């Protein structure tokens, strides 16, 4: 499993903890995910620092705003040097098309559409008036995202196979909710899985968090993920 296709989620409350993990992993990790919590706490300087060290950065912003605001945020991500940025497919074609158009200014930036967050179940969808299963909703939003020009999709390991079968080889499929075999799924409990299962189903990238970041030996834990968990 390629190191660049295994993304470590820096789900920390502050810059110091994130930098400490990046120092411990060193060259073992080439790709990090930064979400809203860490970006808000640490600011864009951490993104620039990691990129300056030679790492790729996936900005998991889950943008869901008016198209003009989404386009501005995508340009800001591109200017920082991010390699991926997420938008909410639930926002519809207007938001995703605006993100794709803005990203064209930055050849290294790929727009990834979030389908259904991995913590959600069918009953959660029903609560907000969506009467289909999670897999049906993921596929519906994924097709919408591909039609809007997005480079890829975020979906759980459980939907990776159906997405690959439906959409073919081109779109990136980024799968969070990755655990080690026998490990705790954490906040992704509803639809988690191992890296081996995700890649076998057709995922192009996997995102691993606590299984590595909270491990006594993060380098060894990351190695286990790459070996399939």
Read off the CATH number of the domain in which 148 is found: 3.20.20.70
Q: Has residue 41 been placed in a domain?
A: no
Residue 24: inside a domain, yes or no? no
Does 33 qualify as catalytic in the annotation? no
Secondary structure in 3-state letters for the chain: CCHHHEEEECCCCCHHHHHHHHHHHHHHCCEEEEEHHHHHHHCHHHHHHHHHCCCEEEEEEEECCCHHHHHHHHHHHHHHCCCEEEEEHHHCHHHHHHHHHHHCCCCCCEEEEECCCCCCCHHHHHHCCCCCCHHHHHHHHHHHHHHCCCCEEECCHHHHHHHHHHHCCCCEEEEEEECCCCCCCHHHHHHCECHHHHHHHCCCEEEECHHHHCCCCHHHHHHHHHCCC
* From 24, 62, 75, 164, active-site residue: 62
Could you tell me if residue 97 is inside a domain?
yes
Q: For residue 167, tell me if it sits in a domain.
A: yes
Residue 201 lies in a domain: yes
What pLDDT is recorded for position 69?
Answer: 98
> Is residue 120 in some structural domain?
yes
Residue 96: domain span = 58-226
pLDDT of 222 reads 94
pLDDT at 180: 80
Residue 34 lies in a domain: no
pLDDT of residue 188: 45
- What is the rounded distance in angstroms from the CA atom of residue 82 to the CA atom of residue 65? 20
| Number of domains within the chain | 1
Question: Can you list the residues of the chain whose pLDDT is less than 50?
Answer: 1-2, 188-189
Contacts of 62 (CB under 8 A, 6+ apart): 35, 36, 86, 87, 88, 114
pLDDT, residue 3, reads: 55
Instruction: Report yes or no on 26 lying in a domain.
Output: no
């Amino acid at each position: 499993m390629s190191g660049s296709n295994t993304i470590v989620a820096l789900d920390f409350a502050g810059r110091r903890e994130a930098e400490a993990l990046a120092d411990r992993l060193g060259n073992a990790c080439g790709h990090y995910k930064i979400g809203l919590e860490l970006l808000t706490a640490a600011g864009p300087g951490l993104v620039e620092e990691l990129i300056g060290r030679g790492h790729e950065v996936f900005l998991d912003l889950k943008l869901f705003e008016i198209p003009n605001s989404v386009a501005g945020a995508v340009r800001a991500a591109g200017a920082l040097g991010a390699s991926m940025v997420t938008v909410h497919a639930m926002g519809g074609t207007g938001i995703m098309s605006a993100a794709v158009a803005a990203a064209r200014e930055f050849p290294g930036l790929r727009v990834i559409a979030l389908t259904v967050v991995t913590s959600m179940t069918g009953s959660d969808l029903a609560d907000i008036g969506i009467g289909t299963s999670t897999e049906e909703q993921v596929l519906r939003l994924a097709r919408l995202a591909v039609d809007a020009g997005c480079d890829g999709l975020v979906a759980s390991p459980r939907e990776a196979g159906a997405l690959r079968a439906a959409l073919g080889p081109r779109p990136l499929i980024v799968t969070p909710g990755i655990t080690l075999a026998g490990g705790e799924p954490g906040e992704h409990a509803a639809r988690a899985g191992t890296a081996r299962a995700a890649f076998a189903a057709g995922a192009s990238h996997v995102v691993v968090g606590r299984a590595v970041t909270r491990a006594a030996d993060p380098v060894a834990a990351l190695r286990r993920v790459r070996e399939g968990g």
